A and B are shown apart, each in its own frame.
Chain A
Amino acid sequence: MQNSLLASLKEHQNKLLAEWSKLLQASGSTDGSTEEEESKEFASLLLDALKHSNGNADSDEFENVYDLLVGISSSRGRRGFSPRENAQYLIAFKEAASKILSEMESDPSKLYSANLELSKLLDNMAILTFESYMKGREEVISRQIDEISEISTPVIRVWDGIVALPIIGTLDSSRTQVVMENLLQQIVDTGSSIAILDISGVPAVDSLVAQHLIKTVSATRLMGAECIISGIRPEIAQTVVHLGIDLTGIITKASLASALQTAFDMLQLTVVKRKITN
């Protein structure tokens, strides 16, 4: 359906822009210069689309408008606008346009149908801005998840031939994969023969976590290194026993210090207090 009224909005582009920026200023959802450029481009594209698309909101012309809108809303997002302000940005456009329309046309029924179509279009766009905002947020979150799992599995070289890996937080399947990769790589890189896995920071050891630990230990052994699990708190020990998990084949220690002591013993190293001689 071709709405001639909407199509001819293009002729009033400058007036519309002036009206729009006035409304934006009044609502406070603007930050001046960068925006003016964006708004001009957006208005021009949208009005062109209205003129050429025959009212079909799925046409190619509108695709361009949507693309631009997604760009605008993500750039506004970076500039610190809330999604609500982004929606207001579009609603202000709608208001401005409908004001211009009422100046152009006096027949209420024509005006009504033009307004209705305009509303439908712009409401859709407002939803689109919300969606793209959410998508942007989700990208940030998933990037942070990656970062957290990267930084939370540091492999520390505590002594020549001994690496330690403190695990903090939940040990799920994907995390275990990262832990195991890092650990095995470090064993190769440093030529270590003993790895200490410290689980003081793991809130609960259930059968899946235990299974992951056992797998990590087996893999370490396959690499020719010995693996010690440390940081087993009393309540964890009791829970593991009740659950019926068999960790007897694994060297476990209550603290990192005693694990290190065991590692020293294995490497036939002794730590001696220096005698003070006067």
Chain B
Amino acid sequence: MTTAADKEELFIAKEQDVVPLRNLVKEYGVKIGMGILNQTKLITATSELVRNLLKYGGGGRVIIESVTNGRDFGVRVVFIDKGPGIKDINLAMQDGYSTGKSLGLGLPGTKRLVNEFDIQTELGNGTTVTIIKWKNG
């Protein structure tokens, strides 16, 4: 079971909000003693998802928590937007697929960077992405 300890919530509305979020995520990683590689992976994943949140979701909330499953400590980041949602989730999770003009690596790439990845989306009701990166994961 995963239990949460510290928790913080940020509102993301513009590109300038990305840097403070990234710093906060890094701080959470450092606090649990995460190594530099996993930190970088977590930060990159966060940065990837928050860009999606801004670009497709029109901004939203991000919740950062430190979590533990008893054996390991980790950081959980939840991205919640109230945007249009994703039409075909399987397609969106494919490498190289993008409705925008990007590389189309955001979602599938992020999934490879983190240990746990969950995406819930409903057309017209927004998207919630939850990721967990374990300290030794």
Chain A contacts to B: CB under 8 angstroms: 170, 172-173, 203-208, 210-211, 234-236, 238-239, 242-245
Contacts and interface: CB of A to CB of B under 8 A. Distances in A.
Contacts of B22: 170, 203-204
B108 interface: yes
Contact of A243 (B36, B37, B112): B112
Q: Which label, helix, strand, loop or mixed, suits the secondary structure of the B interface?
A: helix
Given A207-B109, A238-B37, A243 B19 contact: no
Given A235-B36, A239-B44, A208 B102 contact: yes
Nearest to B15: A172
A59 B56 CA distance: 45
Given A170-B19, A204-B40, A207-B103, A242 B113 contact: yes
Contacts of B106: 206-207
Contacts of A170: 18-19, 22
A207 B37 contact: no
Given A170-B18, A239-B41, 13 more contacts: A170-B22, A172-B15, A203-B22, A204-B40, A206-B47, A207-B102, A207-B103, A208-B47, A211-B102, A234-B37, A242-B41, A242-B113, A244-B105
Contacts of A234: 37
Of B18, B39, B41, the most chain A CB neighbours within 10 A belong to B41
B37 A242 contact: no
Interface residues of B, number: 24
Given A203-B43, A204-B43, A244-B109, A210 B37 contact: no
A211 B44 contact: no
A236 B41 CA distance: 8
A236 B105 contact: no
Given A242-B113, A244-B95, A206 B44 contact: yes
9 contacts: A170-B22, A207-B102, A207-B109, A211-B103, A239-B37, A239-B44, A243-B113, A244-B109, A245-B103
Interface in B17-66: 18-19, 22, 36-37, 39-41, 43-44, 47-48, 51
A235 B39 CA distance: 9
